[in-house]
Structure 1
Amino acid sequence: MPKYMFVYRGGHEGMEHTSPEEMQQVMQRWMDWIHAGIEAGWMLDGGAALKPEGAIVNPDLSVFDGPFTESKELVGGYSMVEASDLAAAIELAKSSPMPQSGGTVEVRELPNLGMQNE
């Protein structure tokens, strides 16, 4: 069955004004969604959030602090799922808390290059 990576972007705008209780509710929605996916068998790896700090290594091996994308485009995390096809993966992405938070989910199929366990 094909495997997909969900890349989560944005959705954190205005979070600096979120109360600790509201933040806990947001985190609980994510944990519930990931746990349900693991129990159902389609969530392969709940992934992780990514810190905004990082670096970019260019082809000439120069290094820049980054990433320098707009806040709404900043990659905030990822998950790995399994679905019968792209349409099914998209439906799983729609069920994630990210669209409800104002962010987006990029859905990308992972090619089987002979290195992944089937």
Structure 2
Amino acid sequence: MKDFLFVFRNDFENIPKGSPEELQALTKKWMDWVGGIAAQNKLSDRGSSLASGGKVVRPNNVVTDGPYTEIKELIGGYTIVKADSIDEAVELASGCPVFNYGGNVEVREINVM
């Protein structure tokens, strides 16, 4: 089996901002989805969500704030799964809760160095 990276991209304007109960229900959907992958023994790393702020480091030691709010899509987090092929990894990604609020999942094979 190979490892595949799921990169969760969120439409900045559609990131859920509901009540604590609504956010808890959304968290449960994520945990159930990830738990389903783990139950198949295909979870390599549960991953994490990412903070909205950060820094961008460029050549010549230039450091700026980022990511930029002008960008519509933000990377919200990641997970690493095991699959025999990219098609199987795509199938695992197909139930991701990020689709419920306009997001998407980028699926990339991880090349071992």
The answer, yes or no, to whether TM exceeds 0.5 is: yes
- Name the structure 2 match of 1:9: 9
User: What code does the residue aligned with 2:27 have?
Assistant: M
Letter of the aligned partner of 1:15 in structure 2?
P
The residue identity in structure 1 corresponding to 2:82 is E
Partner of 2:53: 53
Amino acid at match of 1:38: A
Number of aligned positions between the proteins:
112
Deviations 1:32-73 (A, max 9, x none): 111221121111111000001100000111100001154541
Alignment partner of 2:98: what SS?
helix
3-state DSSP of counterpart to 2:109: strand
Q: What do you get for the CA RMSD once the two structures are aligned? A: 1.6
Q: Distance in 2 between matches of 1:108 and 1:86?
A: 8
Q: 1:110 to 1:69 in 2, by over 3 A?
A: farther
Query: 2:45 & 2:15 partners in 1: Cα distance?
Result: 28
Identity %: 40
Structure 1: gaps of 5 or more residues: 114-118
In 2, are the aligned partners of 1:98 and 1:104 still within 8 Å (CA)?
A: yes
Partner in structure 1 of residue 19 of structure 2: 19
- Larger proportion of strand: 2
TM-score between both structures, scaled by the size of structure 1: 0.87
Structure 2 residue aligned with 1:116: none
Instruction: Give the whole-Å Cα distance in 2 for the aligned partners of 1:38 and 1:62.
Output: 41
Aligned to 1:95: 95
Contact 2:15/2:101, CA 8 A, preserved across alignment: no
What CA distance in whole angstroms lies between the structure 2 residues aligned with 1:27 and 1:11? 18
In the aligned structure 1, how far is the partner of 2:72 from the partner of 2:84? Answer: 30
Cα distance between partner residues in 2 of 1:69 and 1:106? 20
